[in-house]
Chains A and B, each alone.
Chain A
Amino acid sequence: MASKEALVKAKKQHSLGYQIKRNKACYVMLAPYFILFFLFTVLPVLTSIALSFTYFNMLEWPTFNGWNNYIKLFLEDDIFLVSLKNTLIFAVVTGPVSYLLCLIFAWIINEFSSKVRTLLTLIFYAPSICGNAYMVWSLILSSDRYGYLNGILIKLGIINEQKLWMQDAKYILPCLIVVQLWLSLGTGFLSFIAGLQTVDKSLYEAAALDGVKNRWQELWYVTLPAMKPQLMFGAVMQITQSFAVADISIQLAGNPSVNYAGATVVTHLLDYGSTRFDMGYASAIATVLFLLMVGTNKLVQKLLGRVGE
């Protein structure tokens, strides 16, 4: 009899209702955030995905048109394909490089004493905190010979006449990549800096006893594994940033840029969403971009699982 009772009790503990009741405090803590999250994030995202199957010009009620937006996107819209290609190049180059830069600089800064550290953090975070700081680059990349880059290159005798950095399809994408890399020490960078503070100091002493010889080994065997959660966070932020590049392209190269050389998926989306008022189509673009990022995220999380092995 006793065993039967125990069985019933065990079953009861496994039932969903019991689990929910037992974790009541958890749900109460989750509630305020997630109610707002559902209202202001989940609902709008689901609505947008639904809108991607409609024609919606923001004046009339949306009309259903099935997969038409997606068919048009992949089969008829050449510019989308160009922008997709640019975005992929952009993401493949700036994503990993920015990520490593964030990590390396956060780690180097952590080596300095605390007063110097605050100052260095500010300097390196400056491009992210100064609003549209990348406008500095419009001076550097200016197409006349007074542009700093042109001026220096001419003085050094590397080029004979000024290059049209932001008007020549050949140079637009590489220039934008450089600017983006310069801008890359943002969210991920600061979270790494904070992450480094939480690494348990006794781990380093233990590692030194275990035969870790220099700071590079220490980084790989102690620091990185200890801040894995931050590395994951940084990766997600990096993906969202490098796939969603648009502002710098629009500000520096214009939208549309010469021969669409600076077009990215998001500039294309903005073109349809805020210039042509075709929200259905813009939503389809957003959905494709979303799936692209989700796929990349899966891949990256797998790679990061191997850090420190």
Chain B
Amino acid sequence: MKKRRFFKPRQKKLNRSVAGNGLLFFIMAICGFFMALPLVMIINNCLKPLDEIYQFPPRILVRNPTLENFTDLFTIMNDSWVPFSRYILNTIIITGFGTVGHVVLASLAAYPLAKHDFPGKKLLFNMVVLSMMFSWTVTQIPNYMIISWLGINNNYLALILPACSYGMGLYLMKQFMEQLPTSLMESARLDGASEYQIFWKIVMPNVKPAWLTLAIFQFQQMWGNTGSMFLRDEQLKPLQFALQQIAAGGTARAGAAAAVTFIVAAVPIIFFLACQSNVLETMTTSGMKD
């Protein structure tokens, strides 16, 4: 018979005491309450009728839940002169290519940095790490000039290409790949595998938690981008821009704005759950590392 427990069965985890488990559970319950506040607030807000949104003093929990806010939002969406499906398509293109592109390019570059020795390796890696420490505000203008010079202004590429070259992804992937035992790659090399095959067939499957986590970060980043700096044509703008535009509509649209806030948060959360449950799944299967 299988017993269901919060904690893993005894034979899997060594060195665990019941008192310790109880203490940890208690800590998590208290802290979890505070951490969950924004989620609770966003969900409650989007269900509030207008009079409750403007209630003073404000309450976090909803009294008379309604879906009015969403029907309002959809009515406004139907009125927009660029069809909403177009905004959604734009977002899929920008977020999709931005996320996949970054994960693939950064991993591809991280592999030689982690597992090979070649001239210039240290310099390149240090540049990436240091680049994360420079304030993004002041590089915006040079960045804009470069994008204009490349002629990709008012183009999806203006958002996708810079996103592919963020520093964080490369650093994250490199750190995880460094942990892989070199013997793993050596044996594949002896079997005649090329570097690319080693990368796809051996390195990437073994650092699955890393690239799933990176995908979460990057998706969040791309999803939150309104693109208003580079995209001028209304037909090219992402969903985020259109939604923010609706949310900024003033008092009468406070309900729709609450619905917008919910949708804006819900999409990355769904993505997060899909990736995160896989991150945690890998644990059970990847015990065969050298």
A contacts, CB < 8 Å to B = 16, 19-20, 22-23, 25-27, 29-30, 32-34, 36-37, 39-45, 47-48, 51, 58, 105, 108-109, 111-114, 116-118, 120-127, 129-131, 133-134, 136, 139, 144, 146, 182, 185, 187, 190-191, 193-195, 197-198, 200-202, 204-205, 208, 212-215, 217-218, 226-227, 229-230, 232-233, 236-237, 239-240, 243-244, 266, 269-270, 273-274, 279, 282-283, 285-286, 289-290, 293-294, 297
Q: How far is the CB of B272 from chain A (nearest CB, A)?
A: 6
Bound Cα distance A215, B20 (Å): 9
Bound Cα distance A42, B220 (Å): 24
Q: Which of A109, A117, A290 contacts B135 (CB 8 A)?
A: A290
Q: How far is the CB of A172 from chain B (nearest CB, A)?
A: 21
Q: Say yes or no: is B15 at the interface (Cβ < 8 Å to chain A).
A: yes
Q: How far is the CB of A202 from chain B (nearest CB, A)?
A: 8
Interface string of B247-290 (1 = CB under 8 A from A): 00000000000000100110011001100110111111011010
Q: Say yes or no: is B2 at the interface (Cβ < 8 Å to chain A).
A: no
Chain B residues with CB under 8 Å of A282's CB are 137-138
Q: Tell me the total A-B contact number using a CB cutoff of 8 A.
A: 276
Chain A residues with CB under 8 Å of B7's CB are 111-113
Bound Cα distance A105, B30 (Å): 12
B contacts, CB < 8 Å to A = 5-8, 13-17, 20-21, 24, 27-28, 31-32, 34-39, 41-42, 56-58, 60, 105-106, 108-109, 111-113, 116-119, 124, 127-135, 137-143, 145-146, 150, 161-162, 164-165, 167-168, 170-172, 175-176, 178-179, 194-196, 199, 207, 209-210, 212-213, 216-217, 220, 224, 261, 264-265, 268-269, 272-273, 276-277, 279-284, 286-287, 289
18 interchain pairs, CB-CB under 8 A: A19-B119, A22-B118, A105-B31, A111-B24, A114-B284, A122-B273, A126-B35, A187-B217, A194-B213, A202-B287, A208-B14, A212-B15, A214-B20, A215-B16, A226-B179, A230-B176, A236-B129, A269-B135
Bound Cα distance A214, B219 (Å): 39
Chain B residues with CB under 8 Å of A285's CB are 135, 138
B141→A279 contact, CB < 8 A: yes
A126-B135 contact given A29-B111, A33-B108, A120-B28, CB 8 Å threshold: no
A111→B21 contact, CB < 8 A: yes
B138→A269 contact, CB < 8 A: yes
Q: How far is the CB of A198 from chain B (nearest CB, A)?
A: 6
A108→B28 contact, CB < 8 A: yes
Q: Which of A127, A136, A190, A205 contacts B217 (CB 8 A)?
A: A190
Bound Cα distance A273, B140 (Å): 10
| Of listed A47, A117, A191, A205, residue having the most chain B CB within 10 A | A191
**In the complex, residue of chain A having the shortest beta-carbon distance to the beta carbon of B282:** A197
Q: How far is the CB of B178 from chain A (nearest CB, A)?
A: 5
Chain B residues with CB under 8 Å of A273's CB are 137-138
Chain A residues with CB under 8 Å of B143's CB are 40, 44
B137→A266 contact, CB < 8 A: yes
Q: How far is the CB of B211 from chain A (nearest CB, A)?
A: 9
Chain A residues with CB under 8 Å of B38's CB are 126-127, 130, 133-134, 136
Chain A residues with CB under 8 Å of B281's CB are 114
A32→B108 contact, CB < 8 A: yes
**In the complex, residue of chain A having the shortest beta-carbon distance to the beta carbon of B161:** A36
**In the complex, residue of chain B having the shortest beta-carbon distance to the beta carbon of A37:** B165
Chain B residues with CB under 8 Å of A111's CB are 7, 13, 16, 21, 24
Chain B residues with CB under 8 Å of A212's CB are 15
**In the complex, residue of chain B having the shortest beta-carbon distance to the beta carbon of A274:** B137
A198-B207 contact given A37-B165, A182-B34, CB 8 Å threshold: yes
A120→B32 contact, CB < 8 A: yes
Chain A residues with CB under 8 Å of B41's CB are 136
Bound Cα distance A184, B140 (Å): 26
Q: How far is the CB of B76 from chain A (nearest CB, A)?
A: 20
Q: How far is the CB of A36 from chain B (nearest CB, A)?
A: 4
